[in-house]
Amino acid sequence: MCAAEKERGLLVLAAMVLLCGILAVELAHGKIDFTTLAVAGGLVMVWFAVQFILQKVSHRGDGLFLPLAAILMAIGLIMVYRLKPELFLMQALWAAIGLGAFLLSALFFRRITFWADYKYIWGIIGVVLLLATAIFGVDIGGHKSWLIFGPVRFQPAEFAKLFIVLFLAGYLDEHREVLAFATKRYGPLVLPRPRFLAPLLVIWGLAMLMLVLQRDLGSALFYFGTALVMTYIATGQKSFFAWGGGLFILGTVASYIIFPHVRVRFDIWLDPWADPSGKSFQIVQSLFALGSGGILGSGLTYGFPEMIPEVHTDFIFAAIGEEMGLMGAGAVLLLYILLVYRAFRVSLRGKTSFEILLAGGLAVILALQIFVIVGGVTKFLPLTGVTLPFVSYGGSSMVATFILLGVLFAISEAGEGG
């Protein structure tokens, strides 16, 4: 069996998951809605079409990416249909647009060096998007992360992270020798000369700004962590972690002391049972959902995940845990682990240092995002409003994650070719 056939086989599996899931929800409600089934069928056609086109243009990217995304997307669509049936159509539409974005980025990023040349432009776009959100952001559903232009509204942060990684990959690629060797020793720690450090300080400042303006410790940790890890990959200097970690802890402690809302977030995390019906209502409900689900879950539509506020976006993982049990939640986590593993594999097989850094950076943000949101809804980490890639309801997240996957897919082709 050739690679393309295997990929199609996996896509058939994902299609069966999607259609069976939709049918299960409909049967439990006692009526079959053919429109929904047709939409799901249409979406299945789209992912086969994307696979077909990529095969036609002789794209030899990693054949696991599309099926992994498809099956995660299928689980997400089933849960969205079960939780908010009225949003199913929109989510399916966004999934289709996402698949289109995947196809486009898989094609455009074949000429990868072109993108490295404009790194500062991507960096500026990323920073502007983040700053704009911090300053002009509108609060929808508890997150001050939306920008609204007339009828269009989106969450720029989802795209900003791609630009930031693109910029960091380009910048670190160009300056990695300097960063690694033109250092000054400060006691046991080393630091590059300030002029090379400036972009990293900008990102640290941005992270702190997000922490303060948006109460968003997770996003701050996310951007800052990404920058630090990518710097480490580029230079191999572990002392950056000490510097960066120190600065971050300093900023966090300071904001804990100065800003009450940051303190509230931390206190909820440290002891959610102090105010289970008030401040920590959401996280406590999420834990109830996971605990009630147990190993096998309550079965689709037989649980009560709607007791968790915002369950269809940030807390969708808890809903999966309740209705599909540890079997479902664990499967989703395993799919992500597989996805992250394949992303790092792309990086390891990259032919140029830019490819390695870019793929590595994208793998890092993927892993960190999953870690931050799953950790958040299970009280492993303080809660943060980020989405579960491919699964949560939300157009910006869906499209941005598909672009990310498309870039990885494009880079993977280079590796396969060599």
Partner 1 sequence: MYDDLRRNVRKTSFVLLGLLIVLMIYVSYIQVIESDFLAGNALNRRYIEAAERIERGRIVDRNGVSLAYSRQDDSGRYQRCYPYGSIAAHVVGYCSEKYGTSGAENTFNGYLSGATNAQRFLGPIVNLWSNKAGNNVVLTIDADVQAAAYRALGNHRGAVVVLDPRTGAILAMVSKPSFDPATIDSDWDSIADAENSPLVNRAVQGLYPPGSTIKVMIADAALTENVTDLKKTYLCEGVLKIGPDYELTESNHEAHGRVNLEEALTVSCNVTFGTIGLELGDSRMAKTFERYGFTKPLDDELSEATSRLPDFSRLGDGDLAQTAIGQGSLLVTPLRMAMLAEVFANKGVMMEPYIVSKIVATDGSILRRFAPEEFITPTSPEQAQLIGRMMESVVNEGTGYAAQLPDVQVAGKTGTAENPHGAPHAWFIGFAPADDPQVVVAVIVENAGTGGEFAAPIARRVMAAVLSKGGESHD
Asked if 236 interacts with partner 1 (CB under 8 A), we say yes
Asked if 294 interacts with partner 1 (CB under 8 A), we say yes
Q: Smallest distance from the beta carbon of 317 to partner 1, in angstroms? A: 9
Q: Which parts of 114-237 are beta strand (E)?
A: 138-140, 143-149, 152-154, 183-186, 189-192
- Out of 124, 182, 202, 348, point to the residue binding partner 1 (CB under 8 A): 348
- Per-residue x/- marks for partner 1, 264-283, CB under 8 A? ------------xx------
Q: Smallest distance from the beta carbon of 247 to partner 1, in angstroms? A: 20
- Out of 3, 16, 20, 28, point to the residue binding partner 1 (CB under 8 A): 28
Binding residues for partner 1 restricted to 303-322, rule: CB under 8 A? 303-304, 307, 321
Crossing angle of helices 395-417 and 353-377, rounded to 10°: 140
Contact 319, 305 (CB under 8 A): yes
- Out of 52, 114, 136, 341, point to the residue binding partner 1 (CB under 8 A): 341
Our CA dihedral for 231, 236, 238, 243, rounded to 10 degrees, sits at -30
Q: Smallest distance from the beta carbon of 150 to partner 1, in angstroms? A: 38
Q: CB neighbours (10 Å) of residue 218? A: 24
Contact 392, 316 (CB under 8 A): yes
Q: Smallest distance from the beta carbon of 329 to partner 1, in angstroms? A: 6
- Out of 18, 157, 206, 374, point to the residue binding partner 1 (CB under 8 A): 374
Residue 120 or 380: the one with the smaller Cβ distance to partner 1 is 380
- Out of 207, 234, 383, 404, point to the residue binding partner 1 (CB under 8 A): 234
Q: Smallest distance from the beta carbon of 417 to partner 1, in angstroms? A: 16
Residue 334, CA distances (Å) to 206, 252, 264, 331, 341 in order: 32, 32, 32, 5, 10
Alpha-carbon torsion (229, 108, 90, 79), positive or negative: negative
Q: CB neighbours (10 Å) of residue 307? A: 17
Size of the site for partner 1 (CB under 8 A): 57
Residues 6 or more apart whose Cβ sits within 8 Å of residue 121: none
Contact 268, 383 (CB under 8 A): yes
Question: Would you tell me which residues interact with partner 1 (CB under 8 A)?
Answer: 28, 229, 232-234, 236, 276-277, 284, 287-288, 290-300, 302-304, 307, 321, 323, 325-326, 329-330, 333-334, 336-337, 340-341, 344, 347-348, 350, 352-353, 356-357, 360, 363-364, 367-368, 370-371, 374-375, 378, 380
